């Protein structure tokens, strides 16, 4: 079992880190780590995202620092170069999967149908992201897919929050949930990193309940 899967199993929550500035990204990450979460997904959604990823990976070598919103093979190569230890994608891109597999890095592509999951399974993947989870059927969809794909584990993302986290985690095939609810923009803009630590602690409490 990979160290990443072990951490996902232990913490069961993957916060998104998004920032325009590596210094702020480091503060967000520190707050999440302080709250007990050690699997962080730095999303490629700002011009500074790659610099944020690199800074976090360097500063916190004991955390699992992955890159999210990766949609091409070129981006996959670049995030690996910048220090990502896993890759998450909103959809399934076989070329990105190959880059990650060749580098020996875990990749969790997004799937939202049985057909996409079949394609992911045939690429050798047994851990995928369900995206956007709440819009494609939520926990019911996960139960339906996992009754067929018995050896697949899921990371639902998209519409997961503290209010429904326990419903997702109650599905046996759910390894962990991802989401942006742990890193709200309002708290970041206000410099309220203690709020992020609290959200991380609250999520762990829900996961353990
Ligand atoms: C993702 O990249 O996985 C989603 O944007 C997360 O969705 P959320 O913002 O609803 O948590």
Give the distance (Å) from ligand 1 centre to CA of residue 124: 25
The span from the CA of 52 to the CA of 24, in Å, is 9
Distance 158 CA to ligand 1 centre (A): 4
| 41 and 88 Cβ atoms separated by less than 8 Å | yes
Catalytic residue among 23, 41, 58, 59: 41
110 lines ligand 1 (CB under 6 A): no
Please determine, for residue 105, whether its predicted confidence score (pLDDT) is greater than 80: yes
Name the token pair of 41: 């997904």
User: Per-residue pLDDT tens for 181-195?
Assistant: 999 999 999 999 999
- Quick: pLDDT tens for 9-23: 999 999 999 999 999
Residue 46: predicted pLDDT: 96
Reading the block at residue 42, the tokens are 């730095």
> What's the token pair of residue 129?
């992201």
Q: Is the CB–ligand 1 distance for residue 35 below 6 Å?
A: no
Q: Which residue has the least CA distance to atom 7 on ligand 1?
A: 158
Q: Positive or negative CA dihedral for 136, 139, 143, 149?
A: positive
Does 129 participate in catalysis according to the annotation? Answer: yes
Q: DSSP state, 198?
A: H
Residue of 158, 161, 163 to test ligand 1 pocket, by largest number of atoms within 8 Å of CB: 158
Any atom of ligand 1 within 6 Å of the Cβ of 156: no
Q: At what angle do helices 73-81 and 94-103 cross, to 10 degrees?
A: 30
**128 HSE (CA, 13 A, CB side):** 33
**Domain ranges for the chain:** 2-200
pLDDT digit string, tens, across residues 142-169: 999 999 999 999 999 999 999 999 999 9
Of the candidates 48, 39, 56, 62, the residue with the CA atom closest to the CA atom of residue 157 = 39
Among residues 11, 54, 59, 129, which one is catalytic? 129
CB 19 within 8 A of CB 48: yes
Architecture of domain 2-200: Alpha-Beta Barrel (3.20)
pTM of the model: 0.96
Is the pLDDT reported for residue 1 higher than 70?
A: no
What confidence tier does 2 reach under pLDDT thresholds 50, 70, 90?
A: confident
């Amino acid at each position: 079992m990979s160290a990443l899967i072990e951490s996902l199993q232990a913490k069961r929550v993957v916060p998104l880190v998004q920032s325009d500035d590596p210094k702020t990204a480091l503060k967000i990450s520190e707050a999440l780590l302080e709250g007990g979460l050690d699997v962080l997904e730095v999303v490629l959604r700002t011009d500074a995202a790659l610099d944020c990823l690199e800074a976090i990976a360097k500063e916190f070598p004991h955390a699992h620092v992955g890159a999210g919103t990766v949609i091409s093979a070129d981006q996959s190569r670049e995030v690996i170069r910048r220090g990502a230890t896993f890759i998450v994608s909103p959809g399934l891109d076989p070329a990105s999967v190959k880059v990650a597999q060749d580098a020996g890095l875990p990749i969790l592509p997004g799937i939202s149908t049985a057909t996409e999951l079949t394609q992911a399974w045939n690429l050798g993947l047994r851990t995928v992201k369900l995206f956007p989870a709440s819009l494609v059927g939520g926990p019911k969809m996960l139960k339906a897919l996992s009754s067929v794909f018995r050896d697949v584990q899921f990371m639902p993302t998209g519409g997961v929050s503290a209010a429904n986290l326990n419903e997702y985690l109650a599905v046996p095939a759910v390894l962990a949930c991802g989401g942006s609810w742990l890193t709200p923009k309002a708290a970041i803009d206000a410099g309220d990193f203690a709020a992020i630590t609290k959200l991380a602690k609250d999520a762990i409490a829900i996961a353990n309940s």
